[in-house]
Amino acid sequence: MIKTKSYAAQSATSPLAPHEIERREPGADDVRIEILYCGVCHSDLHTARNEWTGTLYPCVPGHEIVGRVVAVGSQVKNFKVGDLAGVGCMVDSCGHCHSCAGGEEQYCENGFTGTYNGPLFGGENTYGGYSQTIVVKESFVLHVRHDEKALASVAPLLCAGITTYSPLRRWGAGPGRKVGIAGLGGLGHMGVKLAHAMGAHVTLFTTSPGKIADGKRLGADEVCISTDADQMAARANQFDLIINTIAAPHDLDAYLRLLRRDGSMILVGAPAAPHPSPNVFNLILQRRSLAGSLIGGIAETQEMLDFCAEHGIVSDIETIPMQYINTAYERMLRSDVKYRFVIDMASLG
């Protein structure tokens, strides 16, 4: 076993603090990665504080991992020592169900193994990227083809990037399509960049007037303050697609009314408490759809990373030392992040 420094929450109410974990020695098809950077996703906070229930403690969050391969098992074919590599939200899945066979491991019918808090029904816990090293099956490791200098800003693509890329592709963001992105946080700012790069007309919906200029700089054609009823009413019946990244319960009708006939709103934000139920008539009368989407499969995650490398897309980040994590969580709750915290793992010593 490999002793590894990490930061963990010991309970739903305790701050994250130094903790030592053990990683397995790499097996034949494993890759061992020295973690250089790890993004801070709002899901880390939901999990560390047991907001979704079911958190196993100690909990070491982190599923936006980038680093360097330092060892490979004898059967590993596609990675070698020295390669840059990424790990997202999953480290395993059953591999044989309908979803896994179709490259949609995130919908594994037997339950994928999360990078942290992995086992759903007993078994050993998994520990995430707020740590120095991780050992992952080759088939769940991604190639990073960005310039190494951009590595810290690549980390958030592993969750925030793929979580917005996947529904944008599935629901057809592209030229001639009007796309809305609700919430300018980690997911939302990637949604704006990606929808813009795909050629869609992009409108950002934000509760924060201070983010208007950034929204435009990131690629939004328009920015709408979602708390302003007049600005919202002026946009009724226009959108083909809205990706809703908001991390708190809110009135979905305010957004459903913005969809044109046959338009869809995709929920990716995962608040701990339910949204108030939407008015069914807002769906019926214009044959609108309300759907959800979970990260993306491994092949699609690689496609997204390569798309971003090709288009020069990375995340806008604030690099922090590991010791800052509890302050970072409080700032995230105040929507005070531009637009993703990324932990420099060298700070763990």
The site for ligand NAP (CB under 6 A) is made up of 41-43, 46, 159-160, 163, 183-188, 206-208, 211, 245-248, 250, 268-271, 293-295, 332, 335, 337
End-to-end CA distance of the chain: 19
**Contacts with 287 (C-beta within 8 Å, 6 or more apart), sequence order:** 261, 262
* 117 part of the interface to Zn ion, by CB under 5 A: no
For ligand NAP, the closer CB: 23 or 189: 189
What are 198's two structure tokens?
């795909």
Phi, psi of 105 (to 5 degrees): -60, -25
Specify the DSSP class assigned to residue 98. Answer: H
Nearest-angstrom CA–CA distance, 276 and 268:
16
Q: CB of residue 39 vs Zn ion: minimum separation in angstroms? A: 8
Binds 283: which of ligand NAP, Zn ion, none (CB < 5-8 Å by kind):
none
**Residue 159 interacting with Zn ion (CB under 5 A):** yes
- HSE (CB half, 13 Å, CA atoms) of 326? 11
What residue number has its CB nearest to ligand NAP?
185
**Nearest approach, Cβ of residue 22 and ligand NAP (Å):** 27
* Nearest CB to Zn ion, comparing residues 41 and 56: 41
Measured from the Cβ of residue 202, the count of other Cβ atoms closer than 10 Å reads: 27
Position 65, amino acid = I
Site for Zn ion in 249-308 (CB under 5 A): none
Smallest distance, ligand NAP to C-beta of residue 130, A? 15
Starting at the earlier edge strand, list the strands of the sheet with 259-267.
222-225, 201-206, 178-182, 239-244, 259-267, 289-292
Q: Which is nearer to ligand NAP, 132 or 335 (CB)?
A: 335
Least gap, CB of 235 to Zn ion (angstroms):
28
Element holding 252 (H helix, E strand): none
Cβ atoms 157, 182 nearer than 8 A: no
Binding pattern to Zn ion, positions 8-47, x when CB under 5 A?
---------------------------------x-x----
Q: Which residues bind Zn ion (CB under 5 A)?
A: 41, 43, 159
